[in-house]
Amino acid sequence: MTVEDYLAGQVLLIDKPLNWTSFQVVNKLRWEIRQAFNIKKIKVGHAGTLDPLATGLLVICTGKMTKQIDGFQGQVKEYTGTITLGSTTPSFDLESEINETFETKHITNALIKQTTASFIGTIAQYPPIFSALKKDGKRLYEFARAGESVEIKPRSITISEFEITQITGLNIDFRVVCSKGTYIRSLANDFGKALNSGAHLSALRRTKIGDFNVLESKSIEAFIASLKDE
């Protein structure tokens, strides 16, 4: 592709690696495109944040395609991951340390699979306090890190599919298809409560956004290599 192609607008499918923020991926790609074509400015943005501890599909838009970001963000998403039973964390994932443990002896494989049914459909979900959502001009995670309590209102989200793919001890592998605005960390936390126990998200991978599939994506390294071939 030429610089004109990137400026006119491209949709890039990137497989976000572990421990990178979505913002870091955008910055890296913008810098590499600028270097490859010796240009000073180009618009680059992503269509839906992935947490640092999540991997998988990031839809990156360049140039005039950044105007389509809102449309891509609104599309249905698919995730796979692992929920670990018996303990919770303040962030609902492994970004923070375990703060409480719970009994799990009463939990059977049948109960786990049966409980997924209560999450199918349009439900009210409380976002995690460790999130980038804003309240009174501040990110929720800023309140959390300062140890301040804040009222969080539930949001209406839709889960169309929630499938348990494997159960290994306290680790539950799953696949979920959901609407924009769904927090899988909150789903993991709520799932633990529904089992009269506790749970946190221990792994997450985004596999689809609308018709885009992570199987069609490139690693950051592969994208940079393709730029050098152009």
Distance, CA of 200 to CA of 185 (rounded, Å): 7
Residues 92 and 187 in one domain: yes
What's the pLDDT at 116? 96
Residues 94 and 170 in one domain: yes
Residue range of the domain that includes 64:
3-74+212-228
Distance, CA of 27 to CA of 44 (rounded, Å): 8
Residues 81 and 172 in one domain: yes
Residues 61 and 141 in one domain: no
Q: Is the pLDDT of residue 134 over 70?
A: no
Angle in degrees, CA 200, 196, 106, rounded to 5: 105
pLDDT tens digits, 116-125: 999 999 999 9
If pLDDT is split at 50, 70 and 90, which confidence band does 129 have? confident
Mean of pLDDT values over 112-131: 90
Catalytic residue among 15, 51, 93, 190: 51
If pLDDT is split at 50, 70 and 90, which confidence band does 127 have? confident
Residues 81 and 36 in one domain: no
Residues 120 and 104 in one domain: yes
Residues 37 and 99 in one domain: no
Residues 202 and 221 in one domain: no
Residues 182 and 106 in one domain: yes
Return the percentage of the chain with pLDDT > 70, whole number. Answer: 90
Distance, CA of 35 to CA of 164 (rounded, Å): 45
30 phi/psi in degrees, rounded to 5: -60, -45
Q: How many domains would you assign to the chain?
A: 2
- Residue-wise DSSP of 73-90: HTS-EEEEEEEEESEE-T
Reply yes or no on whether 93 is catalytic.
no
Residues 85 and 60 in one domain: no
CATH code of residue 156: 3.30.2350.10
pLDDT tens digits, 60-91: 999 999 999 999 999 999 999 999 999 999 99
